[in-house]
Structure 1
Amino acid sequence: MAMLDVDGISLYYTVKGNGIPIVFIHPPVLTSLNFKYQVEELSQKFKVITFDIRGHGRSQYSRSPVTYPLIVKDIKHLLDHLKVNKAFICGYSTGGSIVLEYLLNSSDRALGGIVIGGMSEVRDKYLKQKISLGISLANKDAVPILALSISWSNSNTQKLFNKMFNEALKGDARNIEQYYHYSLHYNCTHQLEKINLPILLVYGKKDKPFYPYAKLLHEKLPCKELKFIDHANHQIPTKAANDLNERIKHFIYTHVMNSDET
């Protein structure tokens, strides 16, 4: 089990494959296991890096509150440890917001971004209520309920559910609440025009509550591609893995394979 010490905190991470590096960022409660199908498929062409955010899965509880800037800092520590200069940063759901935060403040360590069902701010009632429920349950130390619900909705087999659920159960309620809380109040919409690196935006065609977020990012980001996956809802990394992986491969081949910056 690969662990990295960052300021006294042990972070769990995995690395598989060679080539252009891609770092994957999971949302609250879930863990790096959410990207099982990306690790399996994309590692045949790229260096796939996953990690458990502080207080999630196999990573230790963090006395420092979990915030997006702290997560970005941890990613850069991980890249330094792996001797990776620049990488593609890929995030799912609220992990997509961290991609934007990373590109805004650490563009010198990035080749570009991939945002899967992500947002630059939480502005609609549906998502506010959903995240607020996560905060409330974490505050009540009801991580098992969160782990059960979220692992079930994001798994496509009983075997994967069992694994995702068991990993999610290891999370610390305090850090999970902090991650949810920061996500609820984060807003970088007014800074999006500053991101000049290429970004792939991927959303499910059935995920209609996220249409406004897709439209907003598509309008504001200078260098972006927006793709919708047919018959997919929000849980794209696990339930539309093949389509997602193909889009990621095509995007990287198009934008990065000819670059000498890796």
Structure 2
Amino acid sequence: MTMLDVDGISLYYNVKGEGTPIVFIHPPLLTSANFKYQIDELSEKFKVITFDIRGHGRSSYSVQPITYPLIVEDIKRLLDHLKITKAFLCGYSTGGSIGLEFLLTFPNRSIGGIIISGMSEVGNWNLKRRIFLARSILKAGAVRFLASVITWGNSDTQETFRELLKEGLKGDARNIEQYYHYSLHYNCTNLLTMIELPILLVYGTEDKSFHGYANLLHKKLPYSELKFLPNEKHQLPTKAAKELNQLINQFINALCK
């Protein structure tokens, strides 16, 4: 198990493959295990870097509350440790907001971004309600219940479910709740025009509550490309892995010829 010490915090990370580096960022409660198909497939052509956010999966509990700037700084420290000057930032769902924050904070360390089912703010009531509910469940101590629901929703097979659940249950409810909490207040929409880097936006045609976020990002980001995967919902890394990986492969190859 590969760990990086960041100011006393043990940060779990994994690197597989060679070539253009891609850093994958997971949403609350889920872990780097959610990118199992990206690790397996994309590492054949690229350097795939995954990590567990503080208090998630195999990374240790953080006394310092979880915020996006803190996670962004951890990513920078990880890149420094790996001696990587620039990388693509790929964030899934809430992890997409962290990807955007990294691009805004460290544009000189970024080649571009890939946002999967992501957003620049929690703007609609449906998503706010889901986040409030998740926080309430965590505060009630029903971590296993929440983990089962979320990992089941992100699983394409029973084997994947068992793997994601096992890793998700290793996290600390306090840090997971902080991640959810910060997402409610984060908003970088008005700063999106400052990101002068290429961005790939990928959403499912059936993830209708996120189409507003997709169109907003595409409108605001100066150099963005928007793709919709037919008949797919929100959980693209696991449930539409082949199609998603193909888009990522094409996007990076076109930029890094």
TM-score (normalizing by structure 1): 0.97
Please tell me the residue identity of whatever aligns with 1:251.
Answer: F
Query: 2:218 is paired with a residue of what secondary structure?
Result: helix
Cα offset for 1:145?
A: 1.1
| Structure 1 residues 217-236: aligned runs within 5 Å | 217-236=217-236
Cα offset for 1:141?
A: 2.2
1:120 aligns with 2:116: no
Query: 1:176 is paired with a residue of what secondary structure?
Result: helix
In structure 1, distance between residues paired with 2:27 and 2:138: 14
Cα offset for 1:41?
A: 0.2
Residue in 2 aligned with 1:57? 57
In structure 1, distance between residues paired with 2:252 and 2:22: 10
Please tell me the residue identity of whatever aligns with 2:141.
Answer: D
Please tell me the residue identity of whatever aligns with 2:142.
Answer: A
Query: 1:69 is paired with a residue of what secondary structure?
Result: helix
Please tell me the residue identity of whatever aligns with 2:8.
Answer: G
Cα offset for 1:134?
A: 1.2
In structure 2, distance between residues paired with 1:25 and 1:142: 24
Query: 1:215 is paired with a residue of what secondary structure?
Result: helix
Please tell me the residue identity of whatever aligns with 1:168.
Answer: G
| Structure 1 residues 1-262: aligned runs within 5 Å | 1-255=1-255, 257-258=256-257
In structure 2, distance between residues paired with 1:12 and 1:171: 12
In structure 1, distance between residues paired with 2:146 and 2:51: 20
In structure 1, distance between residues paired with 2:168 and 2:147: 5
In structure 2, distance between residues paired with 1:250 and 1:119: 22
Query: 2:138 is paired with a residue of what secondary structure?
Result: helix
User: Which string of whole-angstrom CA distances, capped at 9 and with x for unpartnered residues, describes residues 174-227 of structure 1?
Assistant: 000100000111100010000000000000011000010001001100000000
Query: 1:40 is paired with a residue of what secondary structure?
Result: helix
Query: 1:151 is paired with a residue of what secondary structure?
Result: helix
In structure 2, distance between residues paired with 1:11 and 1:232: 32
In structure 1, distance between residues paired with 2:137 and 2:196: 38
TM-score (normalizing by structure 2): 0.99
In structure 1, distance between residues paired with 2:141 and 2:98: 25
In structure 1, distance between residues paired with 2:141 and 2:46: 38
Please tell me the residue identity of whatever aligns with 2:101.
Answer: E
% same residue = 66
In structure 2, stretches of 5+ residues that fail to align are none
Query: 1:19 is paired with a residue of what secondary structure?
Result: coil
In structure 1, stretches of 5+ residues that fail to align are none
In structure 2, distance between residues paired with 1:227 and 1:22: 19
In structure 2, distance between residues paired with 1:107 and 1:227: 23
Cα offset for 1:136?
A: 1.1
Query: 1:11 is paired with a residue of what secondary structure?
Result: strand
Please tell me the residue identity of whatever aligns with 1:57.
Answer: G
CA RMSD of aligned residues (A): 0.6
In structure 2, distance between residues paired with 1:249 and 1:195: 22
- Number of positions where the alignment pairs a residue of Structure 1 with one of Structure 2: 257
In structure 2, distance between residues paired with 1:142 and 1:109: 39
Q: Verify the 8 A CA contact 1:143 1:171 in the aligned structure 2.
A: no
Deviating 4+ runs (over 2 angstroms)? none
Q: Verify the 8 A CA contact 1:56 1:170 in the aligned structure 2.
A: yes
Cα offset for 1:146?
A: 1.2
